Structure 1
Amino acid sequence: MAGLAASVRPLLIGGERSWTVTDTAGLPIVPAERYLAFLRSDDRSPNTVRSYARGLAEWWTVLEASGVAWDGLTRTVFGDFLAYLRTGDLPGVDRIGPVPQRLAPASVANRAAAVLAFYTWAAAALNITQPRQMLYQRSTRRHHSYLPMLTGVVPATDRPAPVFRLRVPNKSRTPLLTPGQVRTILDGCAILDPAGDGWRPNLAGLRDRFLFALLAESGMRLGEALSLRHCDIHIGAGGTPWVEVVPRQDHPHGVRNKSSRGRDIYIGADLEGLYSAYVWELIDAGIDVQVADVANHFVFVNVGGQPLFAPMRAKSVYARVRALTRDHRAALPPDWTPHWLRHTHATALLLAGRPVHVVMRRLGHLDVQTTLSTYGWVTEDAEMRALANWKSYVAGWKGIHDDQPA
């Protein structure tokens, strides 16, 4: 965004990386920074702060081009803002030729949501209410003869709705990986030496195989996996092994657990064996010498670069994703991400006939409706059941029973 009225700049706060919005002179834009400071104090993730900072930077760019003060805006300027997000054309710019698409609808909605949230905060925290009144209107619901059962008992809610309604195309299906594609990902990281001499090619490959296998066979989010400590993985007790997902917000690279509630996830013997092999390789590499308390140290760590055994970054995982995609172009979707493994896990469980409430607990959703909204199409699509090996793929996940906690 060089040369525009505002830009997003990184900064360090208490040793943690965060983001702010600056003007053309490189100085923080005070109202935007106050709101971002509120988000940081509310323990929002660095990714959320960065996303909202981007939206506010683009908003201030349009305000500057329009000559409108941030606390005295009109609906017209917000419409200009949406046009700028979609096309890149600032107010007063006349385009000759076809209009390009600058941002996808989902990105436009994300940037606009940041601005709407900012003015909601300004109304509550600064008592600057005019902008929010301009951007929101009272809901005008039609009256029907039918009345809910609790009408007159529970207070009615009349929440104001944004004047500009942004419609994001509905994705009726979540992106999935087939069992064969999951196998390609795992084998692309590391494979067992046919001569029986352990996993090859190296410790980094074994670590990555364990990470992707864990995501596929537990349904964990990437942030949850990268936040794991060795004490969270319970094996060797004679019963079904399990992973304890503990809500933590202390990863040095800003990785966060999305859920504020913990849960136990039962895993199979294959994943238990893979973790054991990984731990032995870590010990062989000297982690017990360099790390004072291995049990409470991060599971996924640097094993090739420096600093050695430091917590692994999410961007390192995505670098591995890009490398796997490049090496297996014919087998893997070009846009797959680690989160697809979570979707695949949930889909496979539903196809195997697991109850929705069990899948909900395993994924860490707060309610069944979230699970149904995301994966409800699975049980309705008969064609999905024709995919080869779905049930045998799920059968390898030992210890997933309806009568056990998820």
Structure 2
Amino acid sequence: MFDDVEREIESIVLPHWGAVRRAAGAAPWLVLDDASAPVVPVRIFLTDFVARDNSPKSVRSYAFGLLRWWRWLHALGVDWNKATPAEGRDLVLWLRQTSKPRNLPRTKSLSTAGTINPITRKRYLDDQYAIRTIRHSPTVVRSFYEFWIERGEGPLINPIPLDPTHGRPHAHHNPMLPFRPEGRIRYNPTPPKQHPREIPDDRWRELFKALRSNRDRALLSLVVSNGARAQEILDIRMADVDWGDQLVRVTRKGTRAEQWLPASPDAFVWLRLYVADLGERIEPGEPLWQTRRRRDRGVGLRRQPMSYEALRKVLTRANDTLSTNWTMHDLRHTAALRMARDENLSARDVQTILGHAHLSTTADIYLIEDHDEVIRRVRCHLAEREQIAAQPAPDVATGYDEAVLDILFGGPRR
């Protein structure tokens, strides 16, 4: 049996084998071996993955997942086409107990890694693999082997098996949703239920004041007003701005459909100030968000399109000033929760603005009781109980059972 294989998981160290690099072919990202040559099985799979209309970001994500799998097989001395469920199981066990490799040791973040920020009440990232990363890895590997087993060139059994379903297949299928494969990946850990974290109004004002330029103020104001994802905002071009109706056009993640989103008047005020600060014309086809400094990339000094890493640096500087750990996704959560509480907006309105494919996604995440509001109501309840307990006991005739009276009056009588 495959499950009879036992390994000392704690002693396994992954080699620094291969790399993920950009490519000019059909697949925009490839996994290279130690000789800087493409890993052929992975290249063929990623080419097919692109043909199935997956985005370049998904290709990159899958490439890194398969690089980790190839390094894992090298550490175990197993050929890719001879992998069994034992290797898939042990990979999940290894990811759950090992630390992520780092190019450089922690310095400034050494004292905060894994702790909870007292202001935001959010946990700082530590050096352990996140549950979502652990779940993503076997998903990538299973998809890779499904492709090769279908071609008849892989192992007979997928090293990432599914747990069999019980009862009639699709017994409780929602007719409004597409059919999905039955069963779940056997060794996937269950992700913890996380509630969206809203930035309170006073904290948002502090964050806004900590920003250093009109560009940064305009960008964050757009996100907090319409809840667009960070990359969707960064991909906006000058032609995607409707100044008259105060709309911006974004390309949605996943579907890649174009959609016009409204933005607040304040966001457009800061946007106009940012464009005026540039002192030069942005052509309609050029990215709206530009670097503040000019760089020479072979054609003279020019501003460059703002990258996601540059946007992260904007928040990093503000967080260092405020001793917080806010993220761009917190701004999206803030916008979504503000809209969800507005009686003039329906759940369908919120779903449309956020770009969710299904209404259930919006409802499960945002149409729930606000945790802070629940705490406030419970505190009021406890305060009322204290007031009741502090009231003098009413005069009653003798002969009654004191325990019965305590129950009747909601607490011990003084």
In structure 2, what is the equivalent of residue 263 of structure 1? 259
Which digits, 9 at most, give the CA deviation of each residue in 1:342-392, with x for residues without a partner?
A: 111000111223311111111111221111122132468743888xxxxxx
C-alpha distance in 1, partners of 2:251/2:174? Answer: 38
1:156 deviation in Å?
9.0
Asked whether 1:341 is paired with 2:331, we answer yes
Q: Indicate the residue corresponding to 2:363 in structure 1.
A: 372
Contact 1:40–1:49 (Cα < 8 Å) also in 2: yes
Separation of aligned partners in 1, 2:287 and 2:152: 41
Amino acid of the residue matched to residue 341 of structure 2? L
Contact in 2 for aligned 1:350/1:379 (Cα 8 Å):
no
TM-score (norm 1): 0.71
Task: Give the Cα separation in 2 of the matches to 1:274 and 1:126.
Answer: 58
Aligned ranges for residues 119-268 of structure 1 at < 5 Å? Answer: 119-125=145-151, 127-128=153-154, 130-132=156-158, 134-137=159-162, 139-142=164-167, 159-171=182-194, 173-190=195-212, 205-236=213-244, 240-246=245-251, 257-268=253-264
Structure 1 residues 301 and 361: alpha-carbon distance in aligned structure 2, compared to 1, 3 A threshold: same
CA distance in 2, matches of 1:125, 1:215: 45
In the TM superposition, what is the alpha-carbon distance from 1:104 to its structure 2 partner? Answer: 2.8
Offset at 1:322?
0.8
Change (3 A) 1:281 1:55: same
1:76 aligns with 2:83: no
8 Å CA contact 1:123, 1:129 repeated in 2: yes
Alignment match, 1:318: 312
| Change over 3 Å in CA distance of 1:232–1:101 after alignment to 2 | closer
Residue 32 to residue 278, structure 1, CA distance change in 2 (3 Å):
same
Partner of 1:245, secondary structure, is strand
Q: Name the CA shift for 1:357/1:156 in 2 (closer, same or farther; >3 Å).
A: closer
Q: In structure 2, what residue type is equivalent to 1:274?
A: W
**More contact order relative to length (CA 8 Å, sep ≥ 6):** 1
Kept in 1, the 8 Å contact 2:21–2:29? The answer is yes
Call closer, same or farther: CA 1:17–1:118 in 2, change over 3 Å.
closer
374-383 vs 269-278, greater mean Cα deviation: 374-383
Partners of 1:126 and 1:189 lie apart in 2 by: 56
Q: Please give the secondary structure, in 2, of the residue aligned with 1:13.
A: coil
Alignment correspondent of 1:196: none
Give the TM-score, by structure 2 length. 0.70
Aligned positions, number:
332
Can you give the 5+ residue segments of structure 1 that lack an aligned partner in the other structure? 90-99, 191-204, 248-256, 387-406
Contact 1:7 1:54 in 2 (8 A): no
* Structure 2 match to 1:250: none
- 1:85 deviation in Å? 1.7
Is 2:134–2:188's contact at 8 Å kept on the other side of the alignment?
no
Larger radius of gyration: 2
- Is 1:357 paired with 2:348? yes
Q: Describe the SS at the equivalent of 2:249.
A: strand
Pick one of 306, 317, 320 that aligns with 2:295: 306
In the alignment, structure 1 residue 57 sits paired with structure 2 residue 71: no
Long gaps (5+) in structure 2: 1-11, 100-125, 297-301, 378-414
Preserved CA contact (<8 Å) 2:223 2:233: yes
Shift of 1:213: 0.6
CA deviation string 1:137-173 (max 9, x = no partner) = 46331469xx76999xxx99863543323322222x0
1:219 is displaced (CA, Å) by 0.9
1:276 aligns with 2:272: yes
Question: SS of 2:334's equivalent?
Answer: helix
